[in-house]
């Protein structure tokens, strides 16, 4: 179970451009690591576009945004291009990152249970420790909450 103060689990993944991404390569930066269920769906688009619109303010705080969903690289690339997202999106097709961060969970809809991503955001400080966890995220207004949290670090 990840808690505030825990070391952030390592990430070795493929980004939206098909390139390797390692969390360790970004040590020294604040990282906003947000998990979302599916690219190009209403809630996920709202959340991504709010992060896009807050990108300058987030960058000013020496922070980067990284999105993660189980979608394949090509779908992540289309999503990024369609909405002009200025940040990295990781393809977590095998759910390894989601599982490491504890966001691959049993969900239910219309009486049916299934495994999926619980919309969650982690703020990782410059030293690689979890500084803040946002669970059960509501997409609208979330980027402003995250920006306030990183400004407080």
Per-residue pLDDT, 109: 83
Catalytic residue among 23, 33, 44, 97: 44
Catalytic (active site) residue 98 = no
The model's pLDDT over 12-50, given as tens digits with 9 standing for 90+, comes to 999 999 999 999 999 899 999 999 999 999 999 999 999
- Computed over every residue of the chain, the mean pLDDT equals 96
Taking the domains of the chain in order of start, what are their residue ranges? 12-151
pLDDT recorded at residue 17? 95
Tell me the chain's radius of gyration from C-alpha atoms.
14
Q: What is the pLDDT of residue 137?
A: 97
- pLDDT at position 1: 82
Which positions of the chain have pLDDT values less than 50? none
| CATH topology for the 12-151 domain | Glutaredoxin (3.40.30)
Q: Which tokens go with 123?
A: 């703020």
């Amino acid at each position: 179970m990840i808690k505030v103060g825990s070391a952030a689990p390592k990430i070795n993944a493929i980004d939206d451009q098909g390139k390797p991404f390692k969390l360790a390569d970004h040590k020294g930066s604040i990282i906003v690591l947000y998990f979302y269920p599916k690219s190009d769906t209403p809630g996920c688009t709202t959340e991504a576009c709010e992060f896009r619109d807050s990108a300058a303010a987030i960058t000013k705080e020496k922070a980067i945004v990284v999105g993660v969903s189980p979608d394949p690289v090509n779908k992540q690339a289309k999503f990024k291009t369609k909405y002009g997202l200025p940040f990295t999106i990781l393809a977590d097709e095998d759910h390894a990152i989601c599982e490491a961060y504890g966001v691959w969970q049993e969900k239910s809809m219309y009486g049916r249970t299934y495994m999926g991503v619980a919309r969650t955001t982690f703020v990782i400080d410059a030293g690689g420790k979890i500084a803040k966890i946002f669970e059960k995220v509501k997409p609208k207004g979330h980027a402003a909450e995250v920006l306030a949290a990183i400004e407080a670090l």
